[in-house]
Amino acid sequence: MKVMPFGPVHPGHEDARWPGREVDPVKIDGWLTGPVAVVGADGQVGSALRGRLAELPNEVRPLRRGDDLRAAFRGADVVVHLAGTLAPGRGNSYRAANRDTVAATCAALRDCAARRVVFLSYLDASVASANPYLRFKAEAEQLLHDCGTPAVIFRCAHIYGPPDQPGPTASALLARHGRVSVPGPGSQRYAWIAREDVVEALARAALDPATPTGTFELAGPQAYTVDEFVDHINPGPVHVRHLPGWAARLAGRLVPGVTTPLIDVLLRDCLSVEDPQKTAARFGFTLHTLPEAWPDHGHVTKRPAQR
């Protein structure tokens, strides 16, 4: 089996890691070679997954809101469902984005012969949660378990991209004019996971029939406090302003683009109970540490919990 290097590459284009070298699709023994339908293909993970799948011979069918799922799923080997959001915009809702999109995927799966469906959920998803994001993610998981197509569900920790594409969570923690605002004390711990590791897990779960089905926790190999993460991704001294929980929750009601469920999630620890490296090994890859995935600014320096 060919293990692809860290980071996305795009066939027919020069690979930035090896200047002057183009990358062609590679067939991996035993992997499915049929079409892959990706629901929610334009987000942080979806766009990177499309790049990863472009390294392979599979046809990729990117799907967006309003597309005909039944037509797109017809003849597909695998469906990957990434649609969902922690911060629904105007005209959207937590139920519509995180549960109803999955219900539509399940309805379309009944009319096709896909061999697997792969879903990206969240670590603390629970049908008993008062947080609508966590509750509807858990309800979506149940819909997939009941739909009849073998499912791989990854309950994922907070995701960060590479320095040039950090993604929404990491971007919010990059300093502007030397300042960063952090909801809560900054001592809450996240098992941050590199975007490329999430993409690799999705690709292997989708295409390698030897990988297991079921529900798995997907997290980075080491947990960091939010303050430690801020120290690592910013190149110089940063003034961190900690918003007390009550103030952060108030912002969730008053600040456009910020919601109370989003703030509630950010104030919690986000940690895996399972051994993250063992989960990665079950899918045939190794997790990257934060310094490996974001090497620019050296080691993590601990900060005091309060400012």
3-class DSSP state for residue 259? Answer: coil
Element (H, E) at 239: strand 239-243
- Tell me phi and psi for residue 168, to 5 degrees: -65, -40
Q: How confident is the model at residue 236 (pLDDT cuts 50, 70, 90)?
A: confident
Q: Which two tokens stand for residue 95?
A: 């139920």
Q: How confident is the model at residue 306 (pLDDT cuts 50, 70, 90)?
A: very low
Does position 282 have pLDDT exceeding 70, yes or no?
yes
Does position 217 have pLDDT exceeding 90, yes or no?
yes
Distance CA 195, CA 162 (A): 8
Distance CA 34, CA 296 (A): 38
Q: What integer best gives the mean pLDDT of the chain? A: 89
Region 212-232 average pLDDT = 97
Distance CA 208, CA 284 (A): 9
Distance CA 36, CA 203 (A): 10
Distance CA 283, CA 101 (A): 26
Q: How confident is the model at residue 106 (pLDDT cuts 50, 70, 90)?
A: very high
The residue that leads in pLDDT, 90 or 199, is 199
Does position 288 have pLDDT exceeding 80, yes or no?
yes
The 10 Å Cβ neighbour count of residue 167 is: 17
The HSE-up count of residue 139 (CA atoms within 13 Å, CB side) is: 21
The two beta strands, 224-225 and 189-190, are: antiparallel
Region 157-182 average pLDDT = 95
Determine contact, residues 203/142, Cβ cutoff 8 Å: no
Which neighbouring-strand residues pair with 60? 36
Does position 110 have pLDDT exceeding 70, yes or no?
yes
Determine contact, residues 152/211, Cβ cutoff 8 Å: yes
Nearest residue to 54 via CA among 82, 74, 26, 32: 26
Q: Which residues contact 222 (CB under 8 A, 6 or more apart)?
A: 191, 289, 290
Does position 73 have pLDDT exceeding 80, yes or no?
yes
